[in-house]
């Protein structure tokens, strides 16, 4: 069926009309004839003017005509010159009779119209591309202007809201009253996880360290594992979620509580080497289990801290059982540290709430009372050396003596050094500076320079809480 269809161009339509053909079912008809707009057009002068404007030639006036027998010859010459850009001059055009003059004029007018349309389209295309480039340049300029300008943000914060805030103890009491969801399923899941205890012991005995991951708190599960399987061994528990914990505290526990050594070290690297030498010696045959809650805590994420822990994990008699909760926690270890840790991963999803892990987080919706500050201060104070405790008590007593002085900004470094020398707490100013750095790491003190350029030390705790803390420490020493 497709082979029987015959298409003709718009140029051949006037010729068929002139020859007397009428569109029937079997006659080839152009699509523009059936579906185009049949509006009357003035052919002749306008077409010749357009042709002369494009080709810079004068309009062609046909005064001569050709014989009827030359009709086919004229059609063939016009078809051959259909795709050419040059227009045949009037001197080279064969003479036409009045009957065929109109036909040739229509062909030439259509030819000139096509060139005119091409010229207009080319002009519009160039104009459009130029406009797009200008718009693109404007968009680039607007982008850099927005980036260079300051971002205006709102100054409305939660601290400015006039809403009542509850203290930490009241918040904990309300949280304890909230009923837990799915208690039966969580209880069954907890007992299922307890069945992994023997497998963990097997992995620890074969040189692996245990790393627990999954949704939910793992503190209760690890405590149950310690009490049931490690009760006869030496255990060191580290709360990695504590905000002021440092690797120095962990190493001090191992040297002072486990190895019973009270000496000092130049750096944590030297202290780590001392621990490895003593644990690898033949004198120490007892196994030590280091349980770290949240080894990915904010205070243990540094590369230096993880390197020290990985070096300790290489000791055969020291076993590490740790937990992680951050989704990107494995990214804190490189290949060297992973090879030292030699982790055995276990999924212990428990869906338990993170109550203990989030109890030290600051919230604008919770009013921080002196009781919470006192408990945190006591917890950090216990991890300090005896000389460090004496230095902190000295600064605290001086601050309490000046509590009525509104212009008091802190104890100067020189005064602190003189008082510490009198009580034989330090032997040089470098020792005092090193101890103050540890206080700043634990967020126990703050320091700032006064107008005279001297450094002043201040404990950021309210006087009532600080007074209660000093009295408790004096009563404990008695």
Residue 356 has pLDDT above 70, yes or no: yes
Q: Are residues 215 and 288 in the same domain?
A: yes
Asked whether 96 and 64 are in contact (CB, 8 A), the reply is yes
Residue 447 has pLDDT above 60, yes or no: yes
Q: What is the CATH number of the domain that holds 382?
A: 1.10.10.10
- Strand bridging mode 343-347 / 411-412: unpaired
Last residue within a domain, chosen from 331, 347, 363: 347
pLDDT digits (tens, 9 = 90+) for 386-437: 888 889 889 988 888 888 887 888 888 888 999 898 888 888 888 888 888 8
pLDDT digits (tens, 9 = 90+) for 154-195: 767 665 666 666 666 777 777 778 877 888 898 999 999 999
Residue 167 lies in a domain: no
Kind plus residue range of the DSSP H or E element containing 147: helix 98-148
Band of residue 118 on the pLDDT scale cut at 50, 70, 90: low
Of the chain, the percentage scoring pLDDT greater than 70 comes to 61
Higher-confidence position of 146 and 449: 449
pLDDT for residue 261:
86
Q: Are residues 297 and 377 in the same domain?
A: no
Q: Give Cβ neighbours of residue 257 (< 8 Å, ≥ 6 apart).
A: 236
pLDDT, average across residues 91-115: 48
Residue 226 has pLDDT above 70, yes or no: yes
pLDDT digits (tens, 9 = 90+) for 33-85: 555 555 555 556 666 777 776 665 444 444 444 444 444 444 444 444 444 44
pLDDT, average across residues 2-26: 49
Q: Domain span at residue 457?
A: 371-477
Last residue within a domain, chosen from 347, 379, 410: 347
Last residue within a domain, chosen from 347, 363, 381: 347
Asked whether 230 and 283 are in contact (CB, 8 A), the reply is no
Q: Are residues 191 and 333 in the same domain?
A: yes
Residue 390 lies in a domain: yes
Q: Are residues 225 and 302 in the same domain?
A: yes
Band of residue 200 on the pLDDT scale cut at 50, 70, 90: very high
Q: What is the CATH number of the domain that holds 205?
A: 3.40.50.300
pLDDT for residue 159:
59
Q: Are residues 307 and 380 in the same domain?
A: no
Residue 243 lies in a domain: yes
pLDDT for residue 428:
86
Band of residue 244 on the pLDDT scale cut at 50, 70, 90: confident
Q: Are residues 189 and 277 in the same domain?
A: yes
pLDDT, average across residues 9-31: 52
Asked whether 217 and 352 are in contact (CB, 8 A), the reply is yes
Q: Are residues 327 and 405 in the same domain?
A: no
Residue 187 lies in a domain: yes
In terms of Cα–Cα distance, which of 476, 473, 266 is closest to 390? Answer: 473
pLDDT, average across residues 134-140: 66
Mean pLDDT is lowest, of 215-229, 378-392, 407-421, for 378-392
Place of tokens 């914060």: 157
The domain total for the chain is: 2
Asked whether 218 and 350 are in contact (CB, 8 A), the reply is yes
- Token reading at 215: 């949704």
Q: Are residues 296 and 419 in the same domain?
A: no
pLDDT, average across residues 301-329: 93
Asked whether 224 and 280 are in contact (CB, 8 A), the reply is no
- Token reading at 104: 């040739």
Residue 140 lies in a domain: no
In terms of Cα–Cα distance, which of 118, 90, 124 is closest to 104? Answer: 90
Q: Give Cβ neighbours of residue 258 (< 8 Å, ≥ 6 apart).
A: 234, 236, 288
For every residue of 168-223, DSSP letters joined together read HHHHHHHHHHSPPSSHHHHHHHHHHHHTTHHHHHHHHHTT-EEEEESSS--HHHHH
pLDDT for residue 168:
65
Residue 452 lies in a domain: yes
Residue 199 has pLDDT above 80, yes or no: yes
Report the Cα 255 to chain-centroid distance in Å.
40
- Give the bridge partners for 288, in sequence order: 234, 318
Mean pLDDT is lowest, of 11-15, 18-22, 80-84, 382-386, for 80-84
In terms of Cα–Cα distance, which of 265, 275, 354, 256 is closest to 314? Answer: 275
pLDDT for residue 232:
87
Band of residue 318 on the pLDDT scale cut at 50, 70, 90: very high
pLDDT for residue 104:
53
Residue 119 lies in a domain: no
Q: Are residues 337 and 406 in the same domain?
A: no
Asked whether 243 and 443 are in contact (CB, 8 A), the reply is yes
For 18, 34, 99, the CA distances from 15, given in Å and listed in that order, are 5, 16, 12
Band of residue 377 on the pLDDT scale cut at 50, 70, 90: confident
pLDDT for residue 246:
84
Report the Cα 67 to chain-centroid distance in Å.
86
Q: Are residues 391 and 335 in the same domain?
A: no
Residue 128 has pLDDT above 70, yes or no: no
In terms of Cα–Cα distance, which of 97, 108, 117, 121 is closest to 11? Answer: 108
In terms of Cα–Cα distance, which of 264, 385, 248, 242 is closest to 304? Answer: 248
For 103, 188, 195, 207, 362, the CA distances from 228, given in Å and listed in that order, are 110, 19, 12, 21, 34
Q: Give Cβ neighbours of residue 113 (< 8 Å, ≥ 6 apart).
A: 47, 50
Q: Are residues 225 and 314 in the same domain?
A: yes
Of the chain, the percentage scoring pLDDT greater than 90 comes to 23
Q: Are residues 211 and 316 in the same domain?
A: yes
Residue 122 lies in a domain: no
The whole-chain average pLDDT of the chain stands at 74
Residue 334 has pLDDT above 90, yes or no: yes
For every residue of 305-336, DSSP letters joined together read HHHHHHHHHT-TTEEEEEE--STTGGGG--HH
């Amino acid at each position: 069926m497709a082979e029987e269809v015959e298409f003709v161009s718009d140029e051949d339509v006037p010729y068929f009309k002139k020859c007397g053909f009428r569109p029937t079912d079997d006659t080839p008809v152009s699509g523009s004839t059936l579906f185009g707009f049949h509006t009357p057009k003035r052919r002749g002068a306008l077409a010749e003017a357009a042709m002369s404007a494009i080709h810079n030639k004068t309009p062609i006036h046909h005064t001569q005509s050709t014989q009827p027998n030359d009709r086919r010859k004229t059609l063939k010459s016009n078809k051959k010159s259909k795709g050419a850009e040059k227009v045949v001059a009037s001197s080279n055009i064969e003479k036409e009779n009045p009957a065929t003059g109109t036909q040739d004029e229509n062909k030439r007018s259509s030819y000139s119209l096509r060139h005119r349309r091409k010229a207009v389209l080319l002009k519009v295309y160039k104009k459009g591309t130029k406009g797009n480039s200008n718009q693109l340049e404007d968009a680039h300029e607007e982008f850099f202007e927005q980036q260079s300008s300051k971002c205006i943000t709102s100054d409305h914060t939660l601290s400015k809201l006039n809403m009542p805030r509850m203290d930490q103890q009241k918040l904990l009491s309300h949280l304890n009253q909230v009923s837990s969801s799915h208690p039966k399923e969580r209880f069954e899941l907890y007992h299922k996880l307890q069945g992994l205890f023997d497998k963990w012991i097997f992995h620890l005995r074969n040189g692996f360290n245990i790393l627990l991951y999954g949704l939910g708190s793992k503190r209760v599960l690890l405590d149950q594992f310690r009490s049931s399987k490690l009760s006869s061994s030496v255990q060191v528990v580290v709360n990695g979620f504590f905000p002021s914990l440092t690797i120095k505290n962990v190493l001090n526990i191992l040297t002072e509580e486990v190895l019973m050594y009270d000496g000092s070290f130049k750096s944590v690297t030297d202290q780590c080497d001392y621990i490895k030498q003593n644990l690898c010696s033949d004198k120490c045959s007892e196994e030590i289990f280091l349980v770290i809650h949240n080894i990915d805590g904010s205070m243990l994420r540094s590369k230096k801290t993880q390197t020290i822990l990985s070096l300790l994990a290489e000791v055969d008699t020291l076993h590490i059982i740790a937990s992680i909760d951050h989704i990107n926690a494995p990214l804190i270890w490189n290949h060297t540290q992973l090879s030292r840790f030699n982790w055995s991963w276990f999924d212990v999803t428990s869906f338990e709430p993170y109550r203990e892990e989030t109890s030290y987080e600051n919230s604008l919706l919770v009013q921080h009372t002196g009781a919470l500050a006192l408990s945190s201060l006591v917890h950090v104070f216990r991890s300090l050396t005896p000389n460090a405790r004496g230095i902190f008590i000295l600064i605290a007593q001086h601050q309490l003596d000046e509590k009525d002085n509104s212009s008091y900004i802190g104890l100067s470094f020189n005064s602190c050094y003189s008082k510490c020398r009198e009580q034989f707490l330090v032997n040089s100013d470098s020792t005092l500076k090193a101890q103050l750095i540890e206080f700043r790491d634990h967020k126990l003190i703050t320091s700032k320079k006064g107008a005279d350029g001297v450094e002043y030390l201040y404990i950021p705790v309210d006087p009532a809480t600080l007074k209660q803390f000093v009295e408790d420490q004096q009563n404990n020493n008695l």
